[in-house]
Structure 1
């Protein structure tokens, strides 16, 4: 009996220490990389937005486990010379509130950001999405065609795939994993783990030397972000299966930019297919570029935005 009690007390002490360490890690990450924009409230949901530049409205949506800082590193400042750029933290990531799990998918994220854009005076912006954010941008174009003037899909997840969900996401998207594994990750996984992951995502190009310091790896390791991102990834395939049948309805000027050496989102499956599914789509293939063209080929991505704006009559 005393042994069981001692074990129970030891487990409880370890768990209390873990929660304290996780909270300390989160506080340190938010102190070093605080929100830099403003908050827009939509039906009680706070969405963090950064706005820069002047000109036609352009909404930019980041990918998995990211935040606005991914897009403000290189691409947003470049485009802000000619556009009013609006960047959102997707719900549950960065500093935006999460959506309830039953309504946390790409369609609901698109609706929330569309409403937030309207609150900022952008009724019919162009919309650029990278990777997972590209799927959200596609959902925006399909479900809200009256609220978009042009679409730019960058390394966008767009069509059903056959590879299984990553084991980490299978664990962290489950109820037990979200309750137990996620706090352990936040408490004990160092920011260097995220930095190494970034290097893999940038391959075959090198990660810019100061990118991690700008991005804030610790923000991605917060419990709320890990849970939201895992759930987004767990339900994405089923959402894509339903959405991709409707791409033919997209009528706005569409530019697709994708690196042919992308090992994260396959070029042929996602972008070549997408270019055939959207009647108004034009595909720009970037030979030898990986998953992060908005960093390693920023000028090419900016040129695609300009082409979409010209085709939409905004330039």
Structure 2
């Protein structure tokens, strides 16, 4: 009996230590990477948004495991001299609240961000999405076709793929994994893991100098963000399967950019069939480019946005 009591006490102490370490890490993340923008309330959900510049409205939607800092690193300032740039934290990431189970799909996220943009006076913005954010941008175009003027996708996930869910997301999207493993990740993930993840997502190109220090990876390592990101990633494939039949109805000017060396979201599985499905879409294949063209091929991204604006009659 005493042995069992000692074992129970040790387990409780270990759990308490992990939760304390996790809370401490989260507090440090918030202190080191505070909100950059303003907060809106949309149907009871707090949305973090940054608005900068003047001109036609332009919305930027970041990918998985990220936040708006992916765009504020450099691209927002590059665009703000010609556009009124609006950049959001997606639900559950950065400082935007996590959505409930029924609303956290790419369609639900698109609806939330479209309403947030409308609150900011952007009735029909150009919508730009990268990676998972590209899937949300496509959902915006299919769910709210009269609420955007043009669409730009960057290395976007657009179609179902043949492989299964990676082991990491199987664990972190599982209720038991979310209860036990996620706090351990928040509490103890080393900096070397973060650096390796950044290197992997940019491969075969290099991350720009200062990117790792700016992006705020510890924000994504918070417990709620890890859970939100895993839930979104786990359901994405089937959500895209349901979305694909609606691509031929996209009627706004569409620019598609994708690197032919992207091994995170494959060109031939995603952007090639997307360009075939969307009427009058323009596909730009970036030679030797990886998954992060908004950083490594910034001139091409800006040119694509400008083309979309011109095609939409905004310039």
TM-score, normalised to structure 1, is 0.99
Q: How far apart are 1:194 and its partner, in Å?
A: 1.6
Q: How far apart are 1:193 and its partner, in Å?
A: 1.2
**1:15-34 maps to which residues of 2 (within 5 A)?**
15-34=15-34
Query: Are 1:61 and 1:129, in contact at CA under 8 Å, matched by a contact in 2?
Result: yes
Q: How far apart are 1:209 and its partner, in Å?
A: 2.2
Query: 1:60 is matched with which residue?
Result: 60
In 1, Cα distance between equivalents of 2:56 and 2:157: 26
In 1, Cα distance between equivalents of 2:65 and 2:217: 10
Gaps of 5+ in 1: none
Coordinate RMSD, CA, aligned:
0.7
In the alignment, structure 1 residue 9 sits paired with structure 2 residue 9 = yes
Query: Are 1:195 and 1:217, in contact at CA under 8 Å, matched by a contact in 2?
Result: no
In 1, Cα distance between equivalents of 2:89 and 2:217: 15
Q: How far apart are 1:72 and its partner, in Å?
A: 1.1
Query: 2:107 is matched with which residue?
Result: 107
Query: 1:240 is matched with which residue?
Result: 240
Query: 1:287 is matched with which residue?
Result: 287
Query: 1:77 is matched with which residue?
Result: 77
Aligned residues: 315
Query: 1:296 is matched with which residue?
Result: 296
In 2, Cα distance between equivalents of 1:70 and 1:192: 19
Q: How far apart are 1:196 and its partner, in Å?
A: 1.2
Query: 2:312 is matched with which residue?
Result: 312
The superposition leaves residues 37-62 of structure 1 with CA deviations (integer Å, 9 ceiling, x where unpaired) of: 00010011000001111100000000
Q: How far apart are 1:102 and its partner, in Å?
A: 2.3
In 1, Cα distance between equivalents of 2:279 and 2:131: 21
Query: Are 1:191 and 1:217, in contact at CA under 8 Å, matched by a contact in 2?
Result: no
- The more displaced of 211-220 and 300-309 is 211-220
In 2, Cα distance between equivalents of 1:28 and 1:17: 16
Query: Are 1:92 and 1:228, in contact at CA under 8 Å, matched by a contact in 2?
Result: yes
The superposition leaves residues 181-236 of structure 1 with CA deviations (integer Å, 9 ceiling, x where unpaired) of: 10011011123312210111101111112101010121111001100000000000
Query: Are 1:191 and 1:218, in contact at CA under 8 Å, matched by a contact in 2?
Result: no
SS in structure 2 at match of 1:284: strand
Query: Are 1:26 and 1:219, in contact at CA under 8 Å, matched by a contact in 2?
Result: yes
Query: 2:171 is matched with which residue?
Result: 171
Query: Are 1:68 and 1:87, in contact at CA under 8 Å, matched by a contact in 2?
Result: yes
Query: 2:262 is matched with which residue?
Result: 262
In 2, Cα distance between equivalents of 1:221 and 1:195: 13
SS in structure 1 at match of 2:9: helix
In the alignment, structure 1 residue 249 sits paired with structure 2 residue 249 = yes
In 2, Cα distance between equivalents of 1:259 and 1:72: 22
Query: 1:221 is matched with which residue?
Result: 221
In 2, Cα distance between equivalents of 1:185 and 1:253: 42
In the alignment, structure 1 residue 196 sits paired with structure 2 residue 196 = yes
The superposition leaves residues 135-179 of structure 1 with CA deviations (integer Å, 9 ceiling, x where unpaired) of: 000000000001010000000000110111010100110111111
In 1, Cα distance between equivalents of 2:190 and 2:119: 38
In the alignment, structure 1 residue 39 sits paired with structure 2 residue 48 = no
